[in-house]
Amino acid sequence: MAVRRKSLGSSLSPATALEFRGVSYRVGGNLILDDLSFQIEPGRTLILLGRSGSGKTTALKMLNGLLFPSNGQILVENRATTDWDLIQLRRSIGYVIQEVGLFPHFTIGENVGLVPRLQGWPPDRVAARVAELLAQVGLEPSQFLNRYPRQLSGGQRQRVGVARALAAEPKLLLFDEPFGALDPVTRVELQDQFLELRDRLRKTSIFVTHDVREALRLGTEIALLHRGRLEVLTTPDEFVKSEGPEARAFLSTL
């Protein structure tokens, strides 16, 4: 199995893309994450599944240093997030959120090319990369390059969001319910696109959702969070056979 629960103290395999090591997160008196430990190997797509408030988005935001654990450690490429240069860590991680968060004053091309530009790529390399990525997510570059986010549909904007996340050739991709606000038809289209990119690029990805159907479809592994604890971590095939009450509750929605 590519992902397993990991006990403290065992030696790290060099192939570990990232690891949660005894991670807890507290806000005031509330325990949002409770002693979370697991690791992911490169190229896998881990789904963090859970209800609202289960801690899945919190866990995600710890990977690119938007939040830091109260206890424990998050290791990205065997280095704790607290030891990373945060700017470099974030630039090497693609991040896609439900609200997309495209810069409204930038064209589509400028949005996608921002991190490569900040990383000092020469303009012609940025331009080539932007065109390549737009084509990859199914947007004709000549048609979209110079448009502004407000001139696009929700689905098109989310495609741009994915292209932007991929722009600087990140080692890790984070998705926070990226397709949650889309209509069902567009959602399935973007899921298909996601699967196609997943199998072609084989980037390590963490994908947060509360939709078990989406989880089963897109994940190579599914981690079920319940009240900040890891309930189950297994493959989609095994997940459907889970017996735990929270897993059953999710599976009953199918």
The dihedral through the CA atoms of 35, 99, 217, 129 has a sign that is negative
68 or 235: CB nearest other proteins: 68
50 or 65: CB nearest other proteins: 65
Query: Using CA atoms, how far apart are residues 203 and 102, in angstroms rounded to an integer?
Result: 22
58 or 234: CB nearest other proteins: 58
Query: Using CA atoms, how far apart are residues 188 and 218, in angstroms rounded to an integer?
Result: 11
57's CB contacts (< 8 A; 6+ apart) are: 176, 177, 208
DSSP per residue over 168-193, as a string?
A: T--SEEEEESTTTTS-HHHHHHHHHH
196's CB contacts (< 8 A; 6+ apart) are: none
Q: Could you tell me the smallest distance in angstroms from the CB atom of residue 60 to other proteins?
A: 10
Query: Using CA atoms, how far apart are residues 112 and 135, in angstroms rounded to an integer?
Result: 12
Q: Could you tell me the smallest distance in angstroms from the CB atom of residue 171 to other proteins?
A: 13
Q: Could you tell me the smallest distance in angstroms from the CB atom of residue 217 to other proteins?
A: 25
In the complex, which residues of this chain contact other proteins (CB under 8 A)? 64, 66, 86-93, 95, 97, 99-105, 114-115, 118, 148, 150, 164
64 or 193: CB nearest other proteins: 64
DSSP per residue over 96-158, as a string?
A: EETT----TTS-HHHHHHHHHHHTT--HHHHHHHHHHHHHHTT--HHHHTT--GGGS-HHHHH
Task: Give, rounded to a whole angstrom, the gap between the first and last alpha carbons of the chain.
Answer: 25
Q: Could you tell me the smallest distance in angstroms from the CB atom of residue 95 to other proteins?
A: 4
40 or 60: CB nearest other proteins: 60
Q: Could you tell me the smallest distance in angstroms from the CB atom of residue 3 to other proteins?
A: 24
59 or 232: CB nearest other proteins: 59
What is the three-class DSSP state of 87? Answer: helix
Q: Could you tell me the smallest distance in angstroms from the CB atom of residue 105 to other proteins?
A: 5
Q: Could you tell me the smallest distance in angstroms from the CB atom of residue 154 to other proteins?
A: 13
3 or 63: CB nearest other proteins: 63
